[in-house]
């Protein structure tokens, strides 16, 4: 017996197996109602035989697993008979079943059946209502003049009809003169007798949003084919609903790919997996947005006109013409050597809409117009020519004028010809269609002088056409210079308050401009006729927005036929073609490596492609294909192309890694192949470490970059973001600036609100620092509510982020080994632009100028933009004998020591306006340091937050020699001026710094806010000197009041296994399974010399009774699916039986990770096979440290038993 509970109503459906019926039990009722069967055992459609399972669809229709009859039947609501869905007979065929015993729907409405007798599970595509069908409008019948739509499938005479019925007239008293077929307005005509005549024209558009990993069937009524209006991948900016269309999202058009799969077909299945969007900063797409219509293709009762035998199509009083097909003679084998003319003349206040169903004419050569074969379209004063091969798509709409079609096929031409569909549409009285102007608008002209970008690709240009813009009626208004082609990046209709695009506007992408302009030297675009936007509830657009570029052709750029194993791209731009292009030759050229020069990236454009089309069965390229693949931002990007494509932008790489190109030409055609255009870009304009080859004007002391902007280049003010669960936010910085995350904390709200409060409990998300810091654009996500270990495992309702944008390139560039002092007025970069191994010491003294008004002294804010120096072991500590490192000195004290490969971060604010930065290096084997690039520090003078001189107001705390593993608590109150504290660990130990809410007992009520000091400065160091400065709160969290005190924990943990640290044994994943000691290291295999691929193993730590274990991440370097989110490729999972967490990504400074008193803590390591694009140098694995203790000691008398970890907080006294 099977049971189904309707979650919306609480109704219970029971498969009453031995009574051969389905019973419905309403909530609270003690008797059931028979809704199916109940007429004894049997095989008639009003009977059942041992039903075993029951389920409801979205319309509350009952689906029954009729085991004894070997079938699945559907009972519509309030009916006495079932409908056979699956199982025409007992057997093992694809449409047969044997003792089916259970069934289930998936989210797309597909039905899964457990076919017990055949020992298999069968999947069936079930068309439930309109979910898989495009909408068919109706008129007449019982519609009463109200716009209604067909419901497919519907029950008629006991059978299901999935399309309009042509033969039988509906047996009702309603009379009509129409000869169009009809359909039911409900799912059962037999029961409801509601019907209407089918409007045989183009259906209304159908919108779909497909989530990652899902499929969607696009389906038209019988005799109709699909026309894709919009197909765009979307990246959510800040929305809880991943699969909902939002005009403010970032989009990348993929109309050509979806069109190749679906256009011209009656139905198709779209499989959607996440896609890397090059136009959205290489982010992963979160959904696919589709908009399609269905166009009549073989619908009976629609007349077919021959372009060569018919002369005029015009509605008259004697003949009412609504629509029709136009075909070339003997389509699809149209003869050559013809010149045919046909005119379509609408009535007054009618427009003609034309759709291209199929076309195959001789394609033009790249950069040339239609030559041998063409279809010429003349209307509204415009003449366009089209040719080549094309899929089903909307072609044009007239306004007031006749349309003339002229088909020319030259002698010995090939191609099957042309098939069009047209319909006359009455213009609504409220819609204006102004008469064409009688005077000619000025056309876009081209200067005879070549532009500055010649002979390379142009910058991206934009044009906005307001409604009733007529310039395209009289000539081309989007134009490239000779021997250049148009590439359309984006085109959309927008509805806004003005003829100007803003983020608040409602928009919808359109492929009209792509079909009209892509691959042409110039084209004419007008926004002359009204355009409705389905995504905006049918509102009319106020403007058409277009982004495009001009790309050079073979007449300008040198071309290279590629098939060899390696192609060196040693010129700034060029064209790559298939062998013998444009002649088609059968070739197979696998794994061609396109090698980029060091420190260069590449943009790739497709100029032309004429390959065999995509295989409609498996939606992939088989006979012919072009594959381009590369690695970007930690993920592998692959483009597989075939069919006929116009010029378009493909991708932009984000590093200098090689690109792999493969192609195969195996079909039987005479003309075709592909042509690609590439453009190289120096990474200097986005690189975090400026190149030493930058064009500069030099002085003896510093380097000053030439700039036309006289305003100083400085960091932005700190900004804050509060992300609720399920939200995303894209952080972007100006050009030549990078993101510096100051704070990323999960917040546990004391009021259960997604709203920041300084009194909430916090825990840091440190991996996001490495994911976003140093990038120009980054997506911050908070997908699901996470438990916060340090806040009693409560769920965090929000993520609090504080960030700045910091320049990587200012007007003042100071080469540390080329000068010894510099005066900083606004900002500067202190850098080693390239690394050469030498035994040397370079220093530069920096002086901040006081403010000109009032003469106030200024100190420095110091940021690390990038550091890539050779280091013995990457763990935050520097070996002063063997490593290259940087020291920052202030008043004869080393405030910071930096080395290795470090992420972008804010370091600290100096006490004085004079600091010294020193670079130390020692000679090494040059072959071992070829890939190191140097470092870049950014400094910016800021007003000191005290009127006292730094030295005179300075309070020095005596240094504290911290014992290993002892937890120390420090609260530094504001003394007059500034307070300095020195933290010191024993050799081979490093500082771990966190925070506590304990204060100086100034007041019971305090406002506090997160900060990363002194963590950013001290974590991982053996010794550290930190100066507490009254800090102004720029984010207004505490009413812009400055800080009064700072409170933090710190303790010393070992940083690496050494022979001198015998008290800290080491266990290794996959070598050890049980940990038997109470403190020590856990490392991945072969750490840190190499990364260990394809490993899966577990390890367990057993705790004594009443003991506590704490473990720390010393270093983490595991692959993620993408560097921009939390998705792990390799991982370490740990669990104490109550909570499980996953680790991956890059962490380059020690952090406390977890504390538990559970009896067991289990670790699981999983790494996968090496990827072809893996860059092995930064992958090292992981090193963890743990210790078990019965009593964790703090050197403070604080009664706090639970204190927060991984974050430092600054406190502001609440003085009422």
* Same domain flag for 596 and 640: yes
Residue pLDDT, tens place only, 1062-1089? 678 899 999 988 888 888 899 999 887 7
pLDDT above 50 (res 685)? no
The whole-number pLDDT of residue 1172 equals 54
pLDDT of residue 238: 58
Query: What CA–CA distance (Å, rounded) separates 526 from 976?
Result: 70
Q: Could you tell me which residue, 116 or 695, shows the higher pLDDT?
A: 116
CA 1070 vs CA 1073, 1093, 1130: distances in Å: 7, 12, 15
Q: Do 897 and 930 reside in the same domain of the chain?
A: yes
Let me know the angle formed at the C-alpha of 429 by 207 and 299, rounded to the nearest 5 degrees: 50
Check residue 1079 and give its pLDDT.
87
956 falls in which pLDDT band (50, 70, 90)?
Answer: low
- Write the pLDDT tens digit of every residue in 553-600: 988 887 899 998 889 888 889 999 999 888 888 888 988 999 988 888
Is the model's pLDDT at 1058 over the cut of 80? no
Q: Are 136 and 183 in contact (CB under 8 A)?
A: yes
For residue 1211, the model assigns a pLDDT of: 33
pLDDT (tens digit per residue) in 456-514: 999 888 888 887 777 776 678 899 998 999 999 889 998 887 777 777 788 888 888 88
Residue predicted with more confidence, 1152 or 972: 1152
For residue 261, the surrounding DSSP H or E stretch is helix 255-262
Residue 525 lies in a domain: yes
**Residue 679 has what pLDDT?**
92
Per-residue pLDDT tens for 725-737? 877 787 888 878 8
Q: How confident is the model at residue 994 (pLDDT cuts 50, 70, 90)?
A: low
Q: Are 849 and 812 in contact (CB under 8 A)?
A: no
| Domain final position from 261, 296, 331 | 296
Residue 1207 pLDDT > 80: no
Q: Is 1012 within a domain?
A: no
pLDDT at 1029: 62
Rounded to 5°, the CA angle 161-167-169 comes to 90
Sheet (strand 62-66) strand order: 51-56, 62-66, 71-75, 83-86
Give me the domain span that covers residue 1170.
1066-1189
For residue 167, the tally of other CB atoms under 10 A from its CB is 5
1001 has a pLDDT exceeding 60: no
Per residue in 425-446, pLDDT tens?
887 665 555 555 444 444 444 4
Are 608 and 600 in contact, with CB atoms under 8 Å apart? no
Report the candidate in 1026, 1065, 1058, 954 with the shortest Cα–Cα distance to residue 1210. 1026
- The reply to whether 961 falls in a domain is no
The pLDDT score that the predictor gives to residue 81 is: 79
**Bridging pattern class, strands 697-698 and 727-732:** unpaired
Task: Give the span between the Cα atoms of 581 and 190, in whole angstroms.
Answer: 62
Q: How far apart are CA 427 and CA 122, in angstroms?
A: 49
Q: Find the mean pLDDT for residues 362-374.
A: 79
- The answer to whether residue 21 scores a pLDDT higher than 80 is yes
Bigger pLDDT: 970 vs 674 = 674
* Residue 991 in this model has a pLDDT that exceeds 90: no
> What's the rounded mean pLDDT across residues 1002-1022?
62
pLDDT, tens digit (0-9, with 9 covering 90-100), for 71-111: 999 887 667 778 788 887 888 887 789 999 999 887 667 78
Mean pLDDT of 854-880: 78
Do the domain assignments include residue 454? no
Q: What is the pLDDT of residues 601-637, one digit of tens each?
A: 889 999 998 888 877 666 678 788 999 998 876 677 8
Q: How many CB atoms lie within 10 A of CB 166?
A: 15
Tell me what pLDDT residue 422 has: 95
Work out the pLDDT band at 925, boundaries 50, 70, 90: low
Give how far Cα 555 sits from Cα of 122, 285, 368, 481, 845, Å. Answer: 57, 37, 11, 12, 55
The answer to whether residues 262 and 273 belong to one domain is yes
Find tokens 């899929």 and name the residue.
391
| pLDDT band, very low/low/confident/very high, at 882 (cuts 50, 70, 90) | confident
* Overall number of domains in the chain: 9
Find the mean pLDDT for residues 255-269.
81
Residues 49 and 114 in one domain: yes
Same domain as 1131, residue 1115: yes
Q: Counting Cβ atoms within 10 Å, is residue 428 exposed (0-12), middle (13-18) or buried (19+)?
A: exposed
Q: What is the pLDDT of residue 1210?
A: 34
The domain spanning residue 146 has which CATH number? 2.10.10.10
pLDDT of residue 435: 53
**Where is mean pLDDT largest: 138-152, 984-998, 1066-1080, 1133-1147?**
1066-1080
Task: State whether 62 and 79 are in the same domain.
Answer: yes
Could you tell me if 701 and 848 lie in one domain? yes
pLDDT at 816 over 70: yes
User: Mean pLDDT for the chain?
Assistant: 78
Residue 782 sits in the same domain as residue 818? no
- Cα–Cα distances (Å) from 755 to 314, 716, 748, 953, in that order, read 65, 24, 10, 39
Residue 446, pLDDT score: 45
220 assigned to some structural domain: yes
Do 189 and 143 lie in one domain? The reply is yes
Residue 366 φ/ψ, nearest 5 degrees:
-55, 125
> Can you give the pLDDT at residue 13?
92
The CA distance from 237 to 282, in Å, is 14
Per the model's pLDDT, the better-predicted residue between 368 and 423 turns out to be 423
- Judge whether 97 and 87 are in contact, CB under 8 Å: yes
Instruction: Give the pair of three-digit tokens for residue 648.
Output: 């378009």
Rounded mean pLDDT of 135-160?
Answer: 80
| Residues 1208, 766: Cα–Cα separation, whole Å | 12
Task: Tell me if 652 is assigned to some domain.
Answer: yes
Alpha helices in 453-603 (DSSP H): 512-517
- Decide which of 782, 807, 832 is a domain's last residue: 807
Q: Identify the CATH number of the domain in which residue 470 sits.
A: 2.60.120.740
Annotate 43-74 with b (16+ C-beta within 10 A) or e (fewer). eeeebbbbbbbbbbbeeebbbbbbbbbbbbbb
Inside any domain, residue 1030 = no
Q: What is the pLDDT of residues 733-750, one digit of tens each?
A: 887 888 898 888 888 998
517, 552, 587 - which closes a domain: 552
Of these ranges, 240-244, 424-428, 1056-1060, the one predicted with the greatest mean pLDDT is: 424-428
The CATH number for 579's domain is 2.60.120.290
Structure tokens at 504: 């608040």
Indicate if the pLDDT at residue 41 is higher than 70: yes
pLDDT digits (tens, 9 = 90+) for 1110-1163: 888 888 888 876 544 456 778 899 988 877 888 887 777 777 777 788 888 999
Does 1078 share its domain with 1109?
yes
DSSP string, 854-903: TT--EEEEEEEEEEE---SS-SS---TTTS-EEEEEETTEEEEEEESEE-
Q: Give pLDDT, residue 757.
A: 83
Which range is least confidently modeled, 692-706, 765-779, 1162-1176? 692-706
Instruction: Compute CA 159 distance to the chain's CA centroid, rounded to the nearest angstrom.
Output: 45
Q: Does 1198 map to a domain?
A: no
Q: What is the pLDDT of residue 1115?
A: 83
What's the pLDDT score for residue 645? Answer: 85
Task: Give me the residue label for tokens 């506007």.
Answer: 505
pLDDT of residue 863: 93
Q: Residue 926: pLDDT above 70?
A: no
Percentage of residues of the chain with pLDDT beyond 90: 16
Question: Residue 900 is encoded by which pair of tokens?
Answer: 């290795």
- pLDDT score recorded for residue 1195: 41
What confidence score (pLDDT) does residue 433 get?
Answer: 57
Strand 12-16 relative to strand 21-25, pairing: antiparallel
Structure tokens at 333: 């084998």
Q: How many residues does the chain have?
A: 1216
Task: Say whether both 42 and 160 belong to one domain.
Answer: no
Task: State the pLDDT at residue 471.
Answer: 74
CA dihedral 1125, 1128, 1129, 1135 (to 10 degrees): 180
Query: Phi and psi (nearest 5°) for 838?
Result: -140, 150
Q: Could you tell me where the beta strands, DSSP code E, fall in 500-558?
A: 506-509, 522-523, 532-533, 539-540, 543-552
Contact 1110/1192 with Cβ under 8 angstroms?
A: yes
Confidence class for position 1212, pLDDT limits 50, 70, 90: very low
Provide the pLDDT for residue 210: 84
First to last CA, the chain: 70
Q: Are residues 723 and 867 in the same domain?
A: no
């Amino acid at each position: 017996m099977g049971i189904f509970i309707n979650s919306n109503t609480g109704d219970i459906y029971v498969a009453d197996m031995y009574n051969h019926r389905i019973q419905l039990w309403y909530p609270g009722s003690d008797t059931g109602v028979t809704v199916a069967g109940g007429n004894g055992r049997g095989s008639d459609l009003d009977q059942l035989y041992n039903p075993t399972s029951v389920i409801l669809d979205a319309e509350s229709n009952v689906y029954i697993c009729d085991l004894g009859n070997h079938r699945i039947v559907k009972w519509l609501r309030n009916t006495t008979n079932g409908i056979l869905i699956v199982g025409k007979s007992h057997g093992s065929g694809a449409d047969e079943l044997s003792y089916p015993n259970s069934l289930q729907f998936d989210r797309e409405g597909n039905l899964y059946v457990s076919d017990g007798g055949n020992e298999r599970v069968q999947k069936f595509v079930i068309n439930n209502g309109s979910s898989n069908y495009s909408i068919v409008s109706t008129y007449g019948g019982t519609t009463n003049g109200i716009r209604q739509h067909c419901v497919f499938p519907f029950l008629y005479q006991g059978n299901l009809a999935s399309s309009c019925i042509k033969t039988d007239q509906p047996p009702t008293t309603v009379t009509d003169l129409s000869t169009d077929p009809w359909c039911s307005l409900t799912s059962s005509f037999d029961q409801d007798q509601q019907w209407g005549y089918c409007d045989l024209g183009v259906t209304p558009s159908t919108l779909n949003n497909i989530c990652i990993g899902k499929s969607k069937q696009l389906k038209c009524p019988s005799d109709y084919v699909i026309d894709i209006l919009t197909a765009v991948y979307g990246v959510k900016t800040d929305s809880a609903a991943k699969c909902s269309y939002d005009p403010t999202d970032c989009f990348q058009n993929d109309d050509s790919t979806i069109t190749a799969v679906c256009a011209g077909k009656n139905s198709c299945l779209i499989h959607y997996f996440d896609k890397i969007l090059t136009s959205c900063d290489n982010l992963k797409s979160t959904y696919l947005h589709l908009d399609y219509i269905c166009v009549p293709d073989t619908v009976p009762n629609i007349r077919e006109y021959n372009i060569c035998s018919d002369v005029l199509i015009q509605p008259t009083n004697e003949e009412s013409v609504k629509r029709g097909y136009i075909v070339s003679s003997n389509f699809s084998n149209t003869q050559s050597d013809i010149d045919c003319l046909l005119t379509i003349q609408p009535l007054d206040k009618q427009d003609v809409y034309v759709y291209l169903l199929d076309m195959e004419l001789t394609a033009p050569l790249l950069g040339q117009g239609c030559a041998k074969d063409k279809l010429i379209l003349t209307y509204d004063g415009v003449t366009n020519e089209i040719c080549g091969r094309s899929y089903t798509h909307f072609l044009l709409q007239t306004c007031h004028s006749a349309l003339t079609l002229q088909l020319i096929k030259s002698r010995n031409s090939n191609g099957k010809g042309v098939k069009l569909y047209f319909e006359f549409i009455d213009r609504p009285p409220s819609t204006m269609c102004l008469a064409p102007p009688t005077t000619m608008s000025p056309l876009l002209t081209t200067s005879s002088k070549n532009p500055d970008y010649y002979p390379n690709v142009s910058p991206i240009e934009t044009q906005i056409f307001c409604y009733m813009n007529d310039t395209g009626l009289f000539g081309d208004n989007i134009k490239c210079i000779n021997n250049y082609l148009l590439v359309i990046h984006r085109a959309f209709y927008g509805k806004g308050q003005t003829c100007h695009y803003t983020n608040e506007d409602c928009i919808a992408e359109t492929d009209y401009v792509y079909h009209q302009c892509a691959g042409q030297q110039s084209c004419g675009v007008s926004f002359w006729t009204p355009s409705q936007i389905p995504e905006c509830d049918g509102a009319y657009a106020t403007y058409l927005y277009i982004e495009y570029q001009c790309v050079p052709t073979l007449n300008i750029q040198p071309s290279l036929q590629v098939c060899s194993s390696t192609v060196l791209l040693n010129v700034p731009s060029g064209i790559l073609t298939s062998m013998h292009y444009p002649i088609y030759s059968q070739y197979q050229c696998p794994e061609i490596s396109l090698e980029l020069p060091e420190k260069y990236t590449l943009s790739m454009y497709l100029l032309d492609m004429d390959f065999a089309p995509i295989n409609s069965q498996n939606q992939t390229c088989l006979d012919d294909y072009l594959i381009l693949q590369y690695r970007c931002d930690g993920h592998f990007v692959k483009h597989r192309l075939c069919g006929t494509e116009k010029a378009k932008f493909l991708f932009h790489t984000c590093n200098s890694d090689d690109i792999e190109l493969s192609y195969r030409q195996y079909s039987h055609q005479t003309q075709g192949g592909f042509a690609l255009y590439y453009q190289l870009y120096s990474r200097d304009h986005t690189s975090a470490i400026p190149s030493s080859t930058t064009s500069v004007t030099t002085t003896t002391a510093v380097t000053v970059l030439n700039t036309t902007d006289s305003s100083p280049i400085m960091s932005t003010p700190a900004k804050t973001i509060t992300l609720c669960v399920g939200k995303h936010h894209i952080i972007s910085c100006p050009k030549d600036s990078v993101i510096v995350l100051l704070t990323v904390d999960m917040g546990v709200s004391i009021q259960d609100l997604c709203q920041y409060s300084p009194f909430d409990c916090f825990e840091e998300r440190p991996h996001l620092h490495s994911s976003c810091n140093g990038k120009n654009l980054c997506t911050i996500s908070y997908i699901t509510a996470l438990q916060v270990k340090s806040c009693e495992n409560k769920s965090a309702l929000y993520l609090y982020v504080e960030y700045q944008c910091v320049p990587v390139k200012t007007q003042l560039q100071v080469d540390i080994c080329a000068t010894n002092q510099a005066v900083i007025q606004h900002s500067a970069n202190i850098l080693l632009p390239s690394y050469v191994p030498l035994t040397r010491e370079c220093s530069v003294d920096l002086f901040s100028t006081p403010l000109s008004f009032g003469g106030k002294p200024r100190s420095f804010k110091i940021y690390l933009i990038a550091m890539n120096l050779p280091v013995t072991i990457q763990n935050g500590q520097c070996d002063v004998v063997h490593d290259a490192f940087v020291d920052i000195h202030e008043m004869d004290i080393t405030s910071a020591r930096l080395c290795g490969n470090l992420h972008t971060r804010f370091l600290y604010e100096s006490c004085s306006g004079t600091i010294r930065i020193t670079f130390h290096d020692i000679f090494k084997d040059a072959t071992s340091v070829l890939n190191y690039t140097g470092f870049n520090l950014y400094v910016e003078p800021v007003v000191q937050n005290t009127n006292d001189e730094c030295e005179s107001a300075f309070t020095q705390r005596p240094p504290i020699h911290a014992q290993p593993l002892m937890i120390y608590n420090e609260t530094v109150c504001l003394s007059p001026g500034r307070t300095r504290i020195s933290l010191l660990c024993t050799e081979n130990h490093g500082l771990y710094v966190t925070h506590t809410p304990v204060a100086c007992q100034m007041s019971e009520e305090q406002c506090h806010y997160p900060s990363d000091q002194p963590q950013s400065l001290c974590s991982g160091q053996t010794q550290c000197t930190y100066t507490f400065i009254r800090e102004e709160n720029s984010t207004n969290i505490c009413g812009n009041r400055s800080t009064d005190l700072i409170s933090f924990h710190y303790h010393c943990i070992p940083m690496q296994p050494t022979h001198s640290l015998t008290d800290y044994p080491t266990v290794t994943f996959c070598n050890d399974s049980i940990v038997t000691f109470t403190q020590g290291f856990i490392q991945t295999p072969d750490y840190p010399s190499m990364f260990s691929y394809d490993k899966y193993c577990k390890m367990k730590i057993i705790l004594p009774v009443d003991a506590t274990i704490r473990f720390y991440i010393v270093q983490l370097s595991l692959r993620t699916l993408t560097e921009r989110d939390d998705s792990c490729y390799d991982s370490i999972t740990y669990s104490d039986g109550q909570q499980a967490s996953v680790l991956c990504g890059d962490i380059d400074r020690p952090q406390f990770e977890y504390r538990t008193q559970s009896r067991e803590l289990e670790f699981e390591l999983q790494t996968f096979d090496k990827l072809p694009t893996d860059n092995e140098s930064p992958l090292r694995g992981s090193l963890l440290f743990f210790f078990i203790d019965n009593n964790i000691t703090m050197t403070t008398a604080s009664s706090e038993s639970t204190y927060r970890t991984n974050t430092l907080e600054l406190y502001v006294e609440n003085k009422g």
